[in-house]
Amino acid sequence: MGYLKEEVDMMNKKSNRILLVFVLLIFVSFRGLSQTIAVKASVDTNVILIGDQIKLHFELNQPNDFQVNFPVLNDTIIDKIEILDRSKIDTVHVNNNSLLLKQDYLITCFDSGIYEIPAFKFAFKSKNDTLTDTISTRAFYIGVQTMKLDTTNANAIADIKMPMKAPLTIQEVLPYILIGLAIIAVILLLIYFIKKRKKNEPLIKKRTKPKEPANIIALRDLDKIKKEKYWQKGKIKYYHSMITEVLRTYIENRFDIMAMEKTSQEIISSFTNNKLIDDDSFEKLKQILTLADFVKFAKLKPLPDENESSLNNAYQFVLKTKKVVDLSNPEKENIKDKSEIINDKNEKVV
């Protein structure tokens, strides 16, 4: 019996030791966990004025192998404590095993009083665990004060002043001045238009400048071409182009044929159909235009005699087709040959 009793006592002592070790292990594990994860919430100051902005700081210390989620705050922390902005989570490696994470919230309040900022919960779990646990910050208080009034000063409390009137600047007045001037200009134009309509007058009177006779202009331009000696300098294409341009301008002013807009063949057809000039002048014009087209488009290189003939024929064409005014009847115009003009004493070349 004594032997059995000793055996039972030994077994009880052994069980108590195992239980004590188990409890110690649990305590150590919880103590280690509480030391590996730490969270903190703080503000710049606990007392602010209405409308002041301060920052709410979150700090989290955690091991590398833990996943911790920050609390998600929307527009307010509590009633009347508003969130204006939030920063991104900043991560700093403390050492090879732990991290320091920070996040700031910009907050404000527009009502005086003392407000309790509640505890914020951070959800965490180890990478090897499937269950999630939470750890919380400590709650704290914020006091929001109003502006203190100086009751000793009689002017401390007064009515709201009206906004001050700033002097007008030229930049502010200029648009209205321009609009006013534009309206006045439109009104004056309407009055001018109405008066002209009543008098059946054109809106814009064209000043008629004294115009030189077409033959004078053409002969002067041909003299310039002759003086410059373009074909002798190798500018054959330019030489023939200048001659035809002078003749086209002359034909427009002399015969009212839109020669500048027509091809050489169309100009020749205009004179063929209307019989405005004699056969010799027609042949000279045809020679000038045809040779110029061959030079310009077929890259023909005329002989020196052909180059000279084009300029001489141009002179002859202008002289034989120019307008002649009968001094006894200035309104009557005729086309005469140069020899006829010299022999006719009653006519004068214009």
User: Does residue 330 fall inside a structural domain?
Assistant: yes
Co-location of 121 and 239 in the same domain: no
Residue 34: predicted pLDDT: 42
Residue 150: predicted pLDDT: 63
Calpha distance 228→243 (Å, rounded): 12
- Of 122, 144, 166, the position where a domain reaches its end is 144
CA nearest 310: which of 252, 236, 256, 251? 236
Residues of the chain falling short of pLDDT 50: 1-5, 8, 21-35, 207-210, 327, 330-350
Residue 160 half-sphere exposure, CB side, CA atoms within 13 Å?
Answer: 2
38, 61 in Cβ contact below 8 A?
A: yes
User: Does residue 194 fall inside a structural domain?
Assistant: no
The structure tokens 């040779």 sit at: 291
Co-location of 248 and 131 in the same domain: no
277, 271 in Cβ contact below 8 A?
A: yes
User: Does residue 266 fall inside a structural domain?
Assistant: yes
Residue 206: predicted pLDDT: 56
Q: Are strands 47-49 and 140-145 parallel, antiparallel or unpaired?
A: parallel
Long-range CB contacts (within 8 A, 24+) of 218-222 = 218/246, 218/247, 218/249, 218/250, 218/314, 218/318, 219/315, 219/318, 219/319, 221/246, 221/249, 222/246, 222/311, 222/314, 222/315, 222/318
User: Does residue 190 fall inside a structural domain?
Assistant: no
Report the SS3 class of residue 108. strand
51, 80 in Cβ contact below 8 A?
A: no
User: Does residue 8 fall inside a structural domain?
Assistant: no
Report the SS3 class of residue 266. helix
- Of 144, 170, 198, the position where a domain reaches its end is 144
User: Does residue 265 fall inside a structural domain?
Assistant: yes
* Number of neighbouring beta carbons within 10 Å of residue 85: 10
Residue 155: predicted pLDDT: 61
Co-location of 317 and 224 in the same domain: yes
Number of domains in the chain: 2
- Of 144, 163, 193, the position where a domain reaches its end is 144
Co-location of 262 and 343 in the same domain: yes
Residue 108: predicted pLDDT: 94
User: Does residue 59 fall inside a structural domain?
Assistant: yes
66-69, strands of its sheet edge to edge: 66-69, 121-126, 133-136
Co-location of 132 and 251 in the same domain: no
Residue 346: predicted pLDDT: 34
- The token pair at 176 is 């209205």
Co-location of 218 and 343 in the same domain: yes
CA nearest 134: which of 42, 39, 56, 61? 39
Q: Which domain holds residue 81?
A: 36-144
User: Does residue 314 fall inside a structural domain?
Assistant: yes
Co-location of 233 and 136 in the same domain: no
